[in-house]
């Protein structure tokens, strides 16, 4: 076996340029597959973090009548929310609970108007669950005025300290418009917050709309890994409410993430095609160029099986080198992508990616993708080498030696 390996290495060295080109093309394909996997993982992590930090908390609570088809209907409201919040806050594993109310409206700068979600928040309790306070890019976080997403403000040509008109329809059909000062701007990593939301004091919003209930309550727990049993415990304590964990509340986004993950399968297909075409071509040329050597080896007593194994080893070595090159190539790209990243807003603008991602995007490290990429390259190389290697078993020594 050692002698056969040496022969395979010698064969590779005789066509160094062609071999290097082959394994580099294979390596680039493997590297791109790994990079895509890491980017999708990073997008998933960022999206899930944004969902928890800006939309759901760890556990989301709605009224029993709540329906996702009509999320802004007044029939969805939790009427006794202050009592429920008080009871939930006494549960040992609960670290924070916040109430929010959502209504539809428009923001008007006297020239243009843009539809928005008017969100009433409790400025005192909201930071115990959500992360708005960490993303104030202008002005301040406070009850005196409203908070507005930075992209929304840019679209309207506004800044902190400016005044806007907030318009909406009450349940009775009356059209109401109020003038509000922009207290602060929010430049979060959630596109919904940045481009389609304004935030006001909860009591003020409920007074403007003439209602007494909130759309939902969000809970932050002491250990996200235990969110399933915690959710079940809260369901037992409050059977009259609709209580779900953040994964259930974000089913749509998770489904989109899974669909995007399937895209990597297309990259795998390209890797295999590159391996098959490139390596088959390289190995066939190697076989035809070495017919006299094959004849000599067989005449000296080497069996068809040993010659076949020698060319399989040659293809396998190309796969190994291609895999190593691909891993190094992917690691260098992902090192930059995971530390520096790039600005999605500048690159994609207002394009909806179908996931809750915005701002600076960074990829993640996925060790399994590196291992999988290497194995794909190796297996594809061995598979591509099989046919050229098989041709050597049908070569007769005398016919090979006649080749000039």
CB 149 within 8 A of CB 123: no
The domain limits of the chain are 2-50+257-402, 65-239
> pLDDT tens, position by position, for the chain (404 residues)?
565 666 556 666 666 777 787 778 888 888 888 888 888 888 878 888 888 888 889 999 998 888 777 777 777 888 888 999 999 999 999 999 999 999 999 998 888 889 999 999 999 999 999 988 988 988 898 878 899 988 899 889 999 989 999 988 876 667 888 899 999 999 887 878 888 899 999 999 998 888 888 999 999 999 989 999 999 999 999 998 999 988 886 776 667 666 665 666 676 677 677 767 777 777 777 767 666 766 676 677 777 777 777 777 877 888 888 889 999 999 999 999 888 877 665 655 544 455 555 557 788 888 998 998 899 888 888 888 777 767 666 666 666 565 55
Predicted confidence at residue 259, as pLDDT, reads 66
Among positive and negative, which fits the CA dihedral 68, 70, 72, 77?
negative
- 322: which DSSP letter? H
Predicted confidence at residue 332, as pLDDT, reads 94
pTM score > 0.85 for this model?
no
Predicted confidence at residue 6, as pLDDT, reads 66
Long-range contacts from 277-280, C-beta under 8 angstroms, 24+ separation: 278/22, 278/25, 278/26, 278/384, 279/22, 279/26, 279/315, 279/318, 279/319, 279/380, 279/381, 279/384, 279/385, 280/384, 280/385, 280/387, 280/388
Among positive and negative, which fits the CA dihedral 78, 80, 86, 90?
negative
Predicted confidence at residue 392, as pLDDT, reads 64
Predicted confidence at residue 333, as pLDDT, reads 93
Residue 348's SS3 state is helix
Predicted confidence at residue 257, as pLDDT, reads 61
Both structure tokens of 261: 């993950």
Buried/exposed code over 79-117 (b: 16+ C-beta within 10 A; e: otherwise): eebeebbeebeebebbbbbbbbbbbebbbbbeeeeeebb
Predicted confidence at residue 219, as pLDDT, reads 94
Give the chain's mean pLDDT. 81
């Amino acid at each position: 076996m050692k002698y056969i390996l040496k022969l395979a290495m010698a064969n590779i060295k005789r066509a160094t340029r062609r071999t290097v080109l082959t394994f580099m093309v294979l390596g680039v394909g493997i590297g791109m597959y790994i990079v895509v996997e890491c980017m999708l993982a990073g997008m998933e992590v960022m999206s899930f973090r944004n969902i928890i930090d800006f939309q759901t908390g760890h556990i989301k609570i709605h009224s029993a009548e709540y329906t996702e088809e009509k999320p802004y209907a007044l029939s969805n409201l939790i009427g006794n929310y202050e009592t429920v919040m008080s009871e939930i806050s006494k549960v040992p594993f609960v670290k924070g609970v916040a109430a929010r109310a959502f209504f539809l409206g428009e923001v008007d700068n006297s020239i243009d108007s843009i539809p928005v979600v008017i969100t009433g928040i409790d400025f005192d309790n909201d930071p115990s669950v959500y992360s708005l306070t960490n993303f104030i890019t202008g002005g301040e976080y406070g009850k005196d005025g409203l908070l507005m997403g930075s992209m929304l403000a840019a679209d309207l040509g506004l800044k902190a300290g400016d005044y806007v008109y907030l318009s909406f329809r009450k349940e009775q059909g009356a059209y109401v418009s109020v003038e509000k000062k922009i207290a602060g701007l929010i430049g979060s990593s959630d596109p919904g917050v940045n481009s389609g939301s304004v935030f006001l004091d909860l009591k003020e919003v409920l007074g403007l709309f003439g209602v007494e209930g909130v759309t939902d309550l969000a809970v932050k727990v002491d250990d996200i890994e235990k969110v399933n049993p915690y959710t079940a415990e809260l369901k037992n304590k409050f059977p009259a409410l609709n209580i779900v964990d953040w994964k259930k509340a974000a089913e749509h986004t998770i489904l989109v993430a899974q669909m995007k993950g399937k895209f990597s399968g297309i990259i795998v297909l390209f890797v295999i095609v590159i391996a098959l075409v490139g390596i088959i071509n390289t190995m066939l040329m190697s076989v035809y160029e070495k017919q006299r050597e094959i004849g000599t080896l067989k005449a000296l007593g080497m069996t068809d099986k040993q010659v076949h194994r020698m060319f399989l080893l040659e293809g396998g070595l190309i796969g190994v080198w291609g895999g190593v090159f691909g891993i190094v190539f992917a690691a260098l790209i992902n090192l930059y992508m995971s530390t520096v990243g790039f600005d999605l807003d500048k690159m994609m603008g207002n394009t909806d990616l179908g996931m809750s991602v915005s701002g600076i995007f960074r990829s993640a490290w996925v060790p399994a993708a590196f291992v999988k990429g290497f194995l794909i390259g190796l297996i594809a190389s061995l598979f591509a080498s099989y046919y050229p290697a098989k041709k050597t078993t049908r070569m007769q020594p005398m016919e090979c030696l006649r080749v000039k």
